[in-house]
Amino acid sequence: MSNSPLRLAGLAALMSASLGLGAQSPQPPVAKQVPHVATWHGESVSDPWFWLREKTNPEVAAYLKAENAYTEAQTADIKPFAEALYKEMLGRIKQTDLSVPTRRGAYYYYSRTEEGKQYPIQCRRKGSSLGGYDDHAPEQVLLDQNELAKGLKFLSLGGLSVSDDDRTLLYSTDATGFRQYKLFTKDLATGKVTGPLAERVTSFTWAADHRHVFFVTEDDLTKRSNQLWRLDLQGGKPQLVFEEKDELFRMDVGRTKDRQFLVVECQSTDTWEARTLAAATPTGLFSVLLPREKGHKYDVEHREGLFYIRTNKDAKNFRLVTAPVATPDPKHWTELLPHRANVLLEGLEPFQDFLVVTEKSLGLDQFRIYDVKAKTWKDVSFPEQVYAAHGAGTPDYTSRTFRLSYQSMVTSPSIYDCDLATGRQLLLKQTEVLGGYDASRYTTERLWATARDGVKVPLSVVYRKGLKRDGQAPLFLYAYGSYGYGSAPTFSSSRLSLLDRGMIYVIAHIRGGNELGEGWHDDGMLMKKMNTFTDFIDSAEFLVNERWTSSDRLVIEGGSAGGLLMGAVTNLRPDLFKAVHSAVPFVDVMNTMLDASLPLTVGEYLEWGNPNEKAAFDYMRAYSPYDNLQKKAYPAILVTSSFNDSQVMYWEPAKYVAKLRTLKTDQNPLLLKMKMEPAGHGGASGRYDRLKDSAFEYAWLLKQVGITK
């Protein structure tokens, strides 16, 4: 292997530019090529950039730093614009703020932020003698993430949970960005922190006796959550309770809403299994609720002696059944909510006298309330045609209200308490948008693009009123389209910086998500994955044909699996887009999915396909962005990633950029911005740092359509 990852001339020009030595147009770094040949189904495949996987090789870091220096030089002109955007975006945020307190037991829990501090502070106060929130009661700080983060470049809070007797906090943190969470306890009376109790913890919960905790750890190599442990905090070492051997399955542990049962879920893409144990008997044995059955997905809640089971058995979009705790098998099921072909049953939350189910229909979130005594259903309605809503957490099982969060692309996040008996909603708090924001100046609507096979694809659109649909407006098109994760049409105060500059913002709800039910996911995965990419292209063409924008005014963005989308569509239709932001992109599909030692690989065979099988290999290779780069013109491309990303390895975007540099025939920018300091799949952990990243990305995309202030 050569001693230098760059051609000397390119390095000299780059160093000169980065040091301010007068180079006007630094040349991009050129990664060296090292012979590497892999054999795939009998075919020899050359990959001269394979060496970039060598994370500890100093030449790799040198190359990535050179790319960062090149990006820094090439974007020097937008620094003032990015800084102005940052100040503008920051100016809309109430930096010192308080969440709506939530009752759990004798306390009300909330988080607050303070101006100038990167992280929230987790707090609680005792309730009043009448059971309500008392803002005069002394505040107790449970966890100040700002204190924990002192001296660190990154800090992520994995979760926190208070014991049933309110005395001890259980929490986990990651300081690497690689999702390696350590588990701690904190005595809330003395402030004493103990731990780490365990490392590589992915989920955890308390038993009802205040002394036993259960937690799940991940495999060191593949990061698959595969072992359940029990720990007695009064002494002893963690005991292994259960190990999931099947590499397709991952594990999670939690408690039912009424706190009566511990639940361990083992899930693959298409098959789920749950094990339960009474929370009051933590040293007992977990029992399988329903044995795993290929294709059967179910989860469970408990209420008043019955298991409430959300199941897809004979119900593509799920139905809801109940069963006695002692005999939960299908022979003893009672159907409570039947399957509906056009409604996806997404979840349920039980209360002492009511049940709330979360549904999705035509890409919109819905709630229905079931009165257990009256045996009646009531719909919860919302005022806008495009919106997002979800449960906001109601830990109190006996509550007569259900807390929900509502927002749209023009309505800032709003917290409501919904009366379970009447359905009436009481607004508790709406996120304040500073700077004189007026929602009436903006419009959001739902459009439907027709895909090439005739399927209608929903689009969520927001823009500032007064827009002329003459094809001249710049348009920002975002999509994800994988894993059955829908893209909610949520509010963003930062996005106002785009809208106020005349840019339209659109979310394409393409196949691969779940906006139109489980079938929407099925039609965008495995051997139907190409639908995801063609849906996006067809949505873009629809927007151009309907004169919302034009191809030279159209910028696109996607991250992670959405970065795969960006790579695939720019290979297929590079002429359709002006600029692309590809974040932490999954672009080297074949090398990743053929390496079973990597995190996420084996467990995702059921999402993408197993390339060890020739038919799946051929199909996946036909869209893999890295493998389909060609010698042709590409749009302007900005690729962002993190050196310590655990979900999409840094070398995927690095190799993609290195290879594309040797093939692109245009003069459009191709930039790689790699966070070398600790950062995760979602980038920086601090709120100000994340906002600065967004400001830079927005400034770059706006510049590509001629907007520079």
Q: What confidence tens digit (pLDDT) does each residue in 179-234 have?
A: 999 999 999 999 999 999 999 999 999 999 999 999 999 998 899 999 999 999 99
**Calpha distance 358→690 (Å, rounded):** 31
pLDDT digits (tens, 9 = 90+) for 676-706: 998 989 999 999 999 999 999 999 999 999 9
Asked if residue 212 is part of any domain, the answer here is yes
Question: Of the candidates 504, 499, 440, 517, which has an alpha carbon nearest to the alpha carbon of residue 469?
Answer: 504
Answer yes or no: do 592 and 445 share one domain. Answer: yes
Answer yes or no: do 49 and 111 share one domain. Answer: no
Question: Of the candidates 553, 576, 511, 587, which has an alpha carbon nearest to the alpha carbon of residue 701?
Answer: 553
Answer yes or no: do 562 and 651 share one domain. Answer: yes
Question: Is-contact 161 205, C-beta < 8 A?
Answer: yes
**Calpha distance 389→404 (Å, rounded):** 7
Asked if residue 256 is part of any domain, the answer here is yes
Those residues whose C-beta lies under 8 Å from the C-beta of residue 72, and which sit 6 or more positions away, are 18
Q: Is the pLDDT of residue 535 over 90?
A: yes
Of residues 3 and 601, which shows the higher confidence score?
A: 601
Answer yes or no: do 169 and 236 share one domain. Answer: yes
Q: Region 351-375: what's the mean pLDDT?
A: 97
Average pLDDT, rounded, for the chain: 95
Answer yes or no: do 508 and 626 share one domain. Answer: yes
pLDDT at residue number 599:
86
Q: Region 455-465: what's the mean pLDDT?
A: 98
Asked if residue 388 is part of any domain, the answer here is no
Structure tokens at 478: 């975002």
Per DSSP, the residues of 260-306 read -EEEEEEE-SS-EEEEEEETT-TTS--EESS---TT--EEEEEETTE
- The b/e string for 623-643 (b: 16+ C-beta within 10 A; e otherwise) is bbbbbebeeeebbbbbbbbbb
DSSP 8-state code for residue 252: E
Q: Is the pLDDT of residue 315 over 90?
A: yes
The CATH number of residue 670's host domain is 3.40.50.1820
Q: Region 364-392: what's the mean pLDDT?
A: 96
Sheet arrangement for strand 298-303: 298-303, 306-311, 319-324, 334-337
Asked if residue 391 is part of any domain, the answer here is no
Classified as helix, coil or strand, 371 is strand
Asked if residue 105 is part of any domain, the answer here is yes
DSSP 8-state code for residue 589: H
Give the pLDDT band (50/70/90) at residue 7: very low
User: Is 645 in the active site?
Assistant: yes
Q: Is the pLDDT of residue 21 over 80?
A: no
- Among the listed residues 645, 646, 685, 693, the single catalytic one is 645
Q: Region 272-286: what's the mean pLDDT?
A: 98
Asked if residue 414 is part of any domain, the answer here is no
Answer yes or no: do 157 and 132 share one domain. Answer: no
pLDDT at residue number 428:
98
Residue 32 is part of which domain span? 1-74
DSSP 8-state code for residue 16: H
267, 360, 461, 595, 611 from 602: Cα distances, Å: 13, 30, 37, 8, 10
Asked if residue 254 is part of any domain, the answer here is yes
pLDDT at residue number 135:
86
Neighbours of 407 (CB within 10 A): 22
DSSP 8-state code for residue 522: H
Per DSSP, the residues of 45-60 read EE-TTGGGG-TT-HHH
pLDDT at residue number 595:
95
User: Is 134 in the active site?
Assistant: no
CA dihedral sign, ordered 340, 446, 526, 270: negative
Q: Region 70-88: what's the mean pLDDT?
A: 98
Classified as helix, coil or strand, 367 is strand
- Among the listed residues 156, 408, 414, 560, the single catalytic one is 560
Asked if residue 253 is part of any domain, the answer here is yes
- Residue that finishes a domain, picked among 256, 280, 298: 298
Answer yes or no: do 232 and 267 share one domain. Answer: yes
pLDDT at residue number 129:
77
Answer yes or no: do 115 and 175 share one domain. Answer: no
- Among the listed residues 681, 685, 693, 694, the single catalytic one is 681
Q: Is the pLDDT of residue 11 over 50?
A: no
Answer yes or no: do 197 and 119 share one domain. Answer: no
Answer yes or no: do 158 and 135 share one domain. Answer: no
pLDDT digits (tens, 9 = 90+) for 601-641: 999 999 999 999 999 999 999 999 999 999 999 999 999 99
Burial of residue 539, with CB atoms counted within 10 A of its CB: 0-12 exposed, 13-18 middle, 19 or more buried: buried
pLDDT at residue number 25:
64
Answer yes or no: do 286 and 162 share one domain. Answer: yes
pLDDT digits (tens, 9 = 90+) for 123-148: 999 998 777 898 889 999 999 999 99
How many domains are contained in the chain? 4
User: Is 627 in the active site?
Assistant: no
Instruction: Give the CA count within 13 Å in the CB-facing half-sphere of 289.
Output: 32
Answer yes or no: do 199 and 122 share one domain. Answer: no
**Calpha distance 635→555 (Å, rounded):** 9
Q: Is the pLDDT of residue 414 over 70?
A: yes
Q: Is the pLDDT of residue 263 over 70?
A: yes
pLDDT digits (tens, 9 = 90+) for 482-512: 999 999 999 999 999 999 999 999 999 999 9
Question: Of the candidates 148, 145, 156, which has an alpha carbon nearest to the alpha carbon of residue 120?
Answer: 145
The CATH number of residue 268's host domain is 2.130.10.120
Question: Of the candidates 546, 478, 461, 476, which has an alpha carbon nearest to the alpha carbon of residue 513?
Answer: 478
